[in-house]
Structures are given as C-alpha cells and as structure tokens.
Amino acid sequence: MSELTKNRYDPLLQVQKDAYRCGKCMLCKWIDHNQVTDTAFMNICPSGARFRYEAYYASGRQEIARGLLDGTLEYNDRLLHVLFTCTGCGGCQVICSEQGDKNPLKTIVALKERAFRDELAPLPEHQTIIKSMENYENPWQQPRVRRDSWMRRMGLKDPRKEKVDVLYFVGCTAAYDPELKRVARATAEILKRAGVSFGVLGKDELCCGSTLLRMGDYLSYERVARKNIELLGSLDVGRIATSCSGCNSVLREEYRELTGFDVEVTHSLELIDELLKSGDLKLKKKINKRVTYHDPCHLGRYSGVYDTPRSILEAIPGIELVEMPRNRDNAFCCGAGAGVRTAYPEFALWAATERMREAAGTGAKTVVTACPFCEQNLGDVKKPRLELVDILELVHQSMG
Ligand code: SF4
Ligand code: SF4
C-alpha cells in the first residue's frame, strides 16, 4: 500500500462511535420479535444466514471495523468475501436502531469504501461494472443507442424540447433487460392514458450510480451522480418518477445529501396512487389472482414506502393480497444488491430462492414487486417457480 493511500482520510473514522458501541446483542440476526409468525423465516440478514459465521452479520462487521481501526486486523481474501457479500439491504439497520441510536449500515458502507481506498477493491467482477459505467453509462455493458429501444414508436416527449410536468426516469434494468422493458412500457402507457404531462430522456438518460455507491466505489459514484445532477437539474420539471427502487433512493436521498439536489423524486407507484385517488385513473378489469408483495429494500427500508404498493393492490378488482412472514421493514432481501449478483451469483440465487420459498408458502401463485432489479434476481429461481410481475403491469392490465 502506498504512503499516499495509507494517509488518505479513513472512512471508518466517521463511524467509529457506532462500531465501538455495538453491544453484540446479536438481535440483528433476526426480524423483530413481535413479527415472527414462522420460525423458518425469521432471518433478516441474507449474508449471515447463508455463510453462518458472526463476521457475516452486522455485529461481526462492527467488530471488523474496530479491528481495522485499532490495527489488530489485516485484510485477506476471506475478509473481502465478508465485506462484499453484504447486499446493503438495511435489515440490520432496522433492528439495531430499535436498540438505540446506532447505524450498522453506515459502518458497512464505510468498510467497503475503505477497501477501495486501500486498493483491495474493486473485486474483478465489480471492475466490469465500473468499466461499463465509464464506457456506456450503464452497468450492463449495453450500448447507449439501445437505451431507448423500449419506447420506440410510443411517441413520448423529450423534456428538453417540450414543457412537461414529470420526468419518467426509467433506469438501466427496465430500459435494457429484454424481459423487463415491459415494465417501462406499462408505466408510460398508464401515464399517457391518465393524461399526465411527462417526458423521458431516452438515449441520454444516465445510470443513477446506485450500484457503485452501494458497492463502496464512492469516487466513481460521485462522478456519475454529479453528471446526472447537472442533467436532471437543467430540466424544467416539477417531479421525477422512477421505476427502480435503487434509482429512487439514490435520486431521492443521496443526491440531496451530495449537492442539495431538490427536485421532488417519487417512485412511479406513488404517482399512480395519486392518480387513482384523484380519479384520473380507474381500474375496471378484474384480475383474479392471489398475490404476495415483495418489499424492495431500497423502496421500503431506504425510502419508507410500504403502504402505497399495498393500497394500489387493494384497488385492483379481483386481487387478493397475502403477506409473507417477513414483510415491510422486516422483509428479506432478494439478494441482488450492492453488486452481489454480479460478484457472487450463487449467493444471490440462494437468497432469491429463500424468498421465493417464503412466497410459495403463502399459497400465492404470483409475486408482485416494484423494482426491476429485484424482479430480475427473483426471476432466476427455477424452484419454486412462481409468476413474477411488477405492480404497474397489474395496474396496466386492470385499466382494460
Ligand atoms: S449491530 Fe446492533 S443489533 Fe447487531 S449486535 Fe451490534 S448492537 Fe446488537
Ligand atoms: S445490510 Fe443486510 S446483508 Fe448486510 S449485514 Fe445488514 S442485514 Fe446483513
């Protein structure tokens, strides 16, 4: 490690109080005691549940932070495996904050950032994401010219050429994934039919940088975020609506923290909910399905949106909603976040399978979510195989 690197600011200094105050109560292993309805589904931490050593839980991560701060712990491959198998789901944060004013998630992010600072990261698999972001402004190594393929012949407006009230921020997954473009199309169709004045940036939309931030590459994230903030801030729109939960939390919370970015940001669900309540959107067609809802971590725990998706599902005629044992702020992560699906696909699939087993246990045949990234990962599960849909697809169908 170079002298320059060693002397650079240590991100762990910002979280040392939390790291030393962890009382090792180990409650961050489980969902809230009062929420347990099935002991087979009481884990809240995917990395701890999968690898079954304390190091993989938040308590162990706090201890790792103390060891690095004290100089009693050195990096090795196993330590890097521990750091980068955390999906950043925030489950530990919900439980720990109930025990006092502590924030293990901040420690986790600081640990990853420190690994970047100390030149032990990126992992080779994460290097691919970083390069793709530099070359194509998306993490999927997809050419920029294809970013608008989902909207061809839809006649959508460009907010730089025409005045619109809302920018629909599609996000990389819904824009590029051949299976998930249907979410972007459904959203645009709904907004059109409800008479919303909206536009899209098409080929010129940029990745929000969420994956870079959550996997600890703060410098690359900041480059992307500042570019995006400049572009989004130059538009004359009153609101930005996103399809992806990751985009939502980054645009909504992180950009504000970085630069004071103050354009209102909502998930597209929240906009649809308003249209339903105002009567501008009516759902008539019956959809006879028993469904369960998977709370995306970045929409639920990061942005506090729990009631809106449920109230939309209740407004769709014929839909019966059944809850999984782990729901709302006690939901179990799909396993994809923070670059985990790219670096550790087997672990991401294990977590997704756990979640789909839980969903199947409700008797529902359909899992509904509000995040293309979750849908992509849950969709990798072959057994149990359940139908997966985005809420907005159900809304679109129910409009008739
Ligand atoms: S991180 Fe929080 S919940 Fe977990 S052991 Fe430490 S104090 Fe307890
Ligand atoms: S953020 Fe999620 S995966 Fe990471 S330690 Fe906390 S509960 Fe476990």
What confidence tens digit (pLDDT) does each residue in 325-359 have? 999 999 999 999 999 999 999 999 999 999 999 99
* Domains of the chain: total: 3
Per-residue pLDDT tens over the stretch 108-133: 999 999 999 999 999 999 999 999 99
Per-residue pLDDT tens over the stretch 270-326: 999 999 999 999 999 999 999 999 999 999 999 999 999 999 999 999 999 999 999
Average pLDDT (93-120) is 93
Pocket of ligand 2 contains residue 88 by CB under 6 Å: yes
Asked whether residue 2 carries a pLDDT value surpassing 50, the answer given is no
Per-residue pLDDT tens over the stretch 243-261: 999 999 999 999 999 999 9
- Whether residue 153 is found in the same domain as residue 255: yes
Rounded to the nearest whole angstrom, what is the distance from the C-alpha of residue 290 to the centroid of ligand 2?
Answer: 30
> Which residues lie below 8 Å from residue 51, measured CB to CB, with a gap of 6+?
82, 85
Going by alpha carbons, the residue nearest to atom 3 of ligand 2 is: 86
Q: Which amino acid is at 6?
A: K
Between CA 117 and CA 186 the distance in angstroms is 42
Asked whether residue 361 carries a pLDDT value surpassing 80, the answer given is yes
Residue ending a domain, choose from 99, 117, 135: 117
Residue 104 CA: nearest ligand 2 atom is 6
Between CA 337 and CA 215 the distance in angstroms is 8
Between CA 395 and CA 17 the distance in angstroms is 46
Find, among 345, 323, 324, the residue nearest to 335 by Cα.
Answer: 345
Between CA 91 and CA 89 the distance in angstroms is 6
Rounded to the nearest whole angstrom, what is the distance from the C-alpha of residue 113 to the centroid of ligand 1?
Answer: 21
- Whether residue 137 is found in the same domain as residue 267: yes
Cα within 13 Å of Cα(104), Cβ side: 34
Tokens of 262: 């103050």
Sheet holding 366-369, edge to edge: 319-321, 289-293, 366-369, 387-390
- Whether residue 157 is found in the same domain as residue 62: no
Q: Cα-flanking dihedrals φ and ψ of residue 7, to 5°?
A: -85, -5
Rounded to the nearest whole angstrom, what is the distance from the C-alpha of residue 100 to the centroid of ligand 1?
Answer: 9
- Whether residue 95 is found in the same domain as residue 235: no
Pocket of ligand 2 contains residue 86 by CB under 6 Å: yes
Q: How confident is the model at residue 8 (pLDDT cuts 50, 70, 90)?
A: low
Q: What is the mean pLDDT of the chain?
A: 94
Length of the chain measured in residues = 400
Residue ending a domain, choose from 221, 251, 274: 274
Query: Looking up tokens 């409700």, which residue turns up?
Result: 362
- Whether residue 111 is found in the same domain as residue 130: no
Using a 10 angstrom Cβ sphere, with 0-12 exposed, 13-18 middle and 19 or more buried, the burial of residue 171 is buried
The DSSP result for 134-169, as a single string, is HHHSSTT---GGGTTGGGTTS--B-TTTS--SEEEE
- Whether residue 90 is found in the same domain as residue 156: no
Residue 1 has a pLDDT of: 42
Pocket of ligand 2 contains residue 90 by CB under 6 Å: yes
Residue ending a domain, choose from 58, 90, 117: 117
- Whether residue 269 is found in the same domain as residue 129: yes
Domain span holding position 309: 280-398
Query: Looking up tokens 């409800």, which residue turns up?
Result: 194
Query: Looking up tokens 């209740």, which residue turns up?
Result: 314
- Whether residue 287 is found in the same domain as residue 387: yes
Rounded to the nearest whole angstrom, what is the distance from the C-alpha of residue 300 to the centroid of ligand 2?
Answer: 15
Asked whether residue 372 carries a pLDDT value surpassing 90, the answer given is no
Between CA 230 and CA 261 the distance in angstroms is 9
- Whether residue 348 is found in the same domain as residue 266: no
- DSSP state at residue 331: P
Q: How confident is the model at residue 3 (pLDDT cuts 50, 70, 90)?
A: very low
- Whether residue 226 is found in the same domain as residue 326: no
Sheet holding 166-169, edge to edge: 198-199, 166-169, 239-242, 264-267
- CB-based contacts of 41-45 (< 8 A; 24+ apart in sequence): 41/324, 41/325, 41/326, 41/332, 41/358, 41/361, 42/325, 42/326, 43/332, 44/91, 44/92, 44/94, 44/95, 44/326, 44/330, 44/332, 45/89, 45/91, 45/92
Pocket of ligand 2 contains residue 89 by CB under 6 Å: yes
Rounded to the nearest whole angstrom, what is the distance from the C-alpha of residue 94 to the centroid of ligand 1?
Answer: 10
